[in-house]
Structure 1
């Protein structure tokens, strides 16, 4: 059995080495010739999987080690009888860590001693948005949830969903919708001129979902106007050839890495390994936890003298500080040509340094308040009291 896989999917040998021969190729430039004799195809979001790629191949299974599927022509795969599996929720904790780190920086910028004074509108309440909402609720934030498809399906559910305009009235808006171009609830350019005009300099817009949900050209124009909001973008239109002028104008700019924790990546590999094993009738003996190394930073300690908000910020940024990725992306955008910038954008993702989730860090608390203990637990840190 031949398994053709994106070279950037981690632990391919560990999970698939005893299932078949593995051929690694570039996901961005993967061609029909690369996959013609493959039985199994494993990709990430940078590869468009459709008739043009697979027609005439012997591929019987496609797995994407990502939560999204908008890069896959699911209808064509179904028509051809090609099995498919994604990895929904694999990097939810990683993206939530990213958003919490951005929130902590924003609260600091606003000189807030208590970051829960910020109201947060979450647009898209799936695996990622739902996990973010749960943690923010536990931390004591005022959260408003917007998810029209769920609101229709669950009129009597546990959540009280609000309209998009109500979510956009919050201090912070975090976008986590899938990308849809058809149907009743299109998300393509969902945030455009009208929505951007309603945001003010007292608000922060975060997009770590899908780049095309925000009209990047209209956002660039809005950021030149008075009273423009602060914006943190991790996802962009036309990746990897993103707009360098927009990078200059946003508050935080990162190269589509919100979900790039080691835990998230490895869990994505594990989920498609499970799907392949099920297809072939093989036992699933391997788990992500077997392959996670000891983190570079394993423990931090706080005493009773620690101020609550400062302690949370220190621990969050010990795991992840988005300003490092921001600096790297801005430097990459100084390249002269669009081709050079595109290559640099992809290289930032390909060569991304190891980043661990908050759950990898043990926090030791000596004589601290129960409130601080509860907040660390809510975020997902391991506690030693």
Structure 2
């Protein structure tokens, strides 16, 4: 008998075909709606593996409901939606999808930086509303990216890849990481700063670190007050890293100049969220890895992990 796998979202046909070649597959057949919690708890009862997204909270309750569960394969690099410790203690393997989305997410991060710096979304909206008046010397002015100082918080794979894009714009690159990476300083031509100094010196502060208890609200009122009044904050990692109330106050009070956000603490973000009312906030619906090629590569890697684990082999990209 083939192993049973539950898929928590509708997938592209080529991925569904591949899964069906190896497993007995059941799925939540909706592309834009997460599987309801009650449905997830019911479906997981007799499956060997789950193909899940960041929208699913795979906690101890879910893991206990999955009495036959051997692998939780997450279609994301981040895995804060999964209680990894609880899974490992139950002998359940957790996997993610690193590497395949690095370039795509770095592209989006730098695009978001440029859009926020040059007010692209704000001014496009002005044009569409018919509010573009006569030219004036300081109309629609933004911040220069070229030769500015970028401070990257979190020098993982994506952070290193953003460095290369920044250097193409002759930017001065600072970084902060919990563990200093001296070999990368020489290899990439970047400079280490402690967190406070980086916040004070950077024109653009870019968050590219994983979310966990220690990074929760890493950027709050105190940190925002350290930044330049002309600074731009970019977050394409996880929403919980920024205290959104503090960010709103900092922007309204002109303590910093602008922000670019691809992620929020609550997703989808409520339409009445205060940050959405500000013209100096560029917002996106968590599209860091959203290219056709990358999302397919992520789904194939999830499938590969399921095949390996349920065939009794080692996972390709396990999370410990």
Q: TM-score range by the shorter chain?
A: 0.7 to 0.9
Check whether the contact 2:232–2:257 (CA below 8 A) recurs between aligned residues.
yes
Alignment of 1:221-240 (within 5 A): 221-240=249-268
Alignment of 1:1-385 (within 5 A): 1-10=3-12, 11-25=14-28, 27-30=34-37, 31-57=40-66, 58-106=68-116, 108-109=118-119, 115-148=145-178, 150-151=179-180, 154=181, 156-159=182-185, 160-168=191-199, 169-181=201-213, 186-242=214-270, 244-249=273-278, 250-281=280-311
Q: Of the two structures, which has the highest relative contact order with CA contacts closer than 8 Å and spacing of 6 or more?
A: 2
Q: CA RMSD in A?
A: 2.4
Check whether the contact 1:91–1:263 (CA below 8 A) recurs between aligned residues.
no
Check whether the contact 2:232–2:256 (CA below 8 A) recurs between aligned residues.
no
Deviation at 1:227? 4.1
SS of equivalent to 1:252: strand
Deviation at 1:275? 1.5
Greater mean deviation of Cα atoms: 267-276 or 204-213: 267-276
Deviation at 1:22? 2.0
Write out per-residue CA displacement over residues 197-224 of structure 1, whole angstroms, 9 at most, x where no aligned residue: 2234411111010100000111122222
Residue ranges of structure 1 left out of the alignment (5+ in a row): 284-385
Structure 1 distance, partners of 2:117, 2:277, is: 22
Write out per-residue CA displacement over residues 31-50 of structure 1, whole angstroms, 9 at most, x where no aligned residue: 21121121110111110112
Distance 1:113 1:164, change over 3 A: closer
Distance 1:9 1:207, change over 3 A: farther
Which residue does 1:296 correspond to in 2? none
TM, length-normalised to structure 1? 0.66
Aligned residues: 275
Distance 1:21 1:94, change over 3 A: same
Distance 1:158 1:46, change over 3 A: same
SS of equivalent to 2:54: coil
Deviation at 1:103? 3.2
Structure 2 distance, partners of 1:113, 1:83, is: 46
Structure 1 distance, partners of 2:141, 2:277, is: 24
TM, length-normalised to structure 2? 0.78
Write out per-residue CA displacement over residues 298-334 of structure 1, whole angstroms, 9 at most, x where no aligned residue: xxxxxxxxxxxxxxxxxxxxxxxxxxxxxxxxxxxxx
Structure 2 distance, partners of 1:28, 1:121, is: 38
Structure 1 distance, partners of 2:97, 2:158, is: 12
Residue ranges of structure 2 left out of the alignment (5+ in a row): 120-139, 186-190, 314-320
Distance 1:52 1:282, change over 3 A: closer
Deviation at 1:246? 1.4
